Amino acid sequence: MMMKVEAPIHHTFTGDNLIPETVAQLARSLSLELTIAPEAIAKMNASRKWVETVAQTGKPVVYGVNTGFGSKANVSISREHLQELQYNLIQSHASGTGEPLPIDVVRAAMVLRVQTLVKGYSGIRPVVVERLLEMLERNVVPWIPAQGSVGASGDLAPLSHLALVLIAPTKPTETDYSKAYWWNPQQEAWELLPGKEALRRAGIQPVQLEAREGLALNNGTQISTALLTLAYVDAEQLVKTADIAMALSLEALRGIRRAFHPAIHELRPHPGQMATAENIRRLIEGSTLVDSLKEQVQDAYSLRCHPQVVGSVRDTLAHVRRVLTVELNSTNDNPIILPDEPDENKAFSGGNFHAQPIAFAADFLAIAMAEVGSIAERRIFRMSDKNLNNGLPSFLIANGGLENGLMIAQYTAAALASENKSLAHPASVDSIPTCENQEDHVSMAPIAARKARQIVENVMKIVAIELLYAAQAVDLRARETGQSPQELLGAGTRVVYETIRREVPILETDRPLYGDIDTIARMVRSGALLQAVEQAIGTLR
């Protein structure tokens, strides 16, 4: 998680202007200035006016306004209990368990909840949404357990934990069940507090829910979508960094550039494949290590098939982006209020809360990113094996036997790659009925998205290990030739080698490697390596 204190980021919510990168930027910044577009407020007021009429007259019967929820939709609720109905909904549904979601995920979910509400079809008062904006601006982040949602009827349990902070009790005699993080600017750290106390420190008043508003807050796909959005943004950056690591490994192994010739890829013109091959060509341009084994005809698949494998990942990510772009700008709760419809009942019960599109996209991303780690691990193994690495010592260390070198770092990469294979099993093929079989098919999207995020994190570490190996191998090649690594490397790989070596020295004798791996993983995660390379050779595709 990358949280930044910087110049304020300004954003106006219109209901249709979010892209994944904007969500990540808002979720990971501690300095925001947020507003709602006037036309969005007008639309919210229009749907709210109709809900208030229903609440006052009792007519027509509208799900979640004057009825119970789920299988209790046929239970009528009297006018005097409508506020209690919404309060009970949030209290009862805050039933999650497990470790808390990361702060950036919760902030992303808050951004997405605001976005769907300002579209104006949920019947919620603008003041409630404005409180959510205040929480984002003043860095109050609900504590939300990660487990407990099946991804249909919305992410009910986690979103109820979010709303629980918003409705923190105002009377001293009431128990505050909510918890929230508050950014303490003096200590520059997050503090976990009772929700009421976090709001007080931030100068935010809790809200009293009115008719429909509890359901407007906890019915939707925002937790699943937040997880997938951040995983997607990180994956896009990671795939470029994986190209950088592969290019450095190609040089370390004295590979062949002909496999990346544009003519080959134009004959099978998958967009991702062509983009990947182009990246490799640009990264190794000027290298004297590639093509230096004149007797070698072709490389192993983990080298020459990288464009075909990682190119397919790029094409999968393009599909995920299309799904996310729709979902980020959609109304996905229930019922949907359509104030311009001629029917007396302007509330339409549908299934926009069902997160199947997100579940599929998350599983696709998980499968694809697991392959990025899998092919990278094969290159790590190849560099470590004296029978496969074209003349380098075992485990890339002199005096092998006494010194173990990079032996065990390959085990770590193998463990991560194997874990990813287990995590990549699709969650979206599962469904367990809930709510007395009223909700008899569910998506399991939050599980799919959490797995995808974990796989992306694991692959960051695998790529970091590949970079550790490749930099070490390049140093050994330089000693063979009597030249400096900078003289041997290509335009892009030279930069990544220098960036790594500023913080991680060559391995001369055995030392614990966890610090080296963590240091390079931080460079991968933050984008520092990618940024350094792109500053030198331009933006990678």
All domains of the chain, ordered by start, with CATH? 9-220 (1.10.275.10), 227-331+349-432+439-537 (1.20.200.10)
Is 514 catalytic? The answer is: no
Torsion, CA 526, CA 531, CA 533, CA 536, rounded to 10: -160
pLDDT tens digits for 47-91? 999 999 999 999 999 999 999 998 898 899 999 999 999 999 999
Distance of CA 1 to the CA centre of its chain: 10
Q: Which of 424, 414, 419 is nearest to 450 (CA)?
A: 424
Segment among 170-184, 353-367, 458-472 with least mean pLDDT: 170-184
Amino acid identity of residue 122, one-letter, is: S
Report whether pLDDT(2) > 70.
no
Strands 32-36 and 9-13: parallel
Q: How many CB atoms lie within 10 A of CB 102?
A: 18
Give start and end residues of each alpha helix (H) in 386-507.
407-423, 445-481, 485-488, 493-501
Name the 3-class secondary structure at 447: helix
Do the Cβ atoms of 117 and 214 come closer than 8 Å?
no
pTM: 0.96
Q: Where residue 3 falls among pLDDT bands split at 50, 70, 90?
A: low
Write the pLDDT tens digit of every residue in 473-522.
Answer: 999 999 999 999 999 999 999 999 999 999 999 999 999 999 999 999 99
Say yes or no to pLDDT of 1 above 60.
no
Express each pLDDT in 386-405 by its tens digit.
999 999 999 999 999 999 99
Q: In the predicted model, what is the mean pLDDT of the chain?
A: 96
Structure tokens at 425: 């099993």
Confidence band, pLDDT 50/70/90 cuts, at residue 172:
confident
Q: State the catalytic residue, choosing from 63, 121, 232, 469.
A: 63
Percent of the chain whose pLDDT exceeds 90: 93
Which residues pair with residue 336 across a beta bridge?
348
Residue 212 in contact with residue 121, Cβ under 8 Å? no
- 125-152 CB burial, b ≥16 within 10 A, e <16: bbebbbbbbbbbbbbbbbbbbbebbbbb
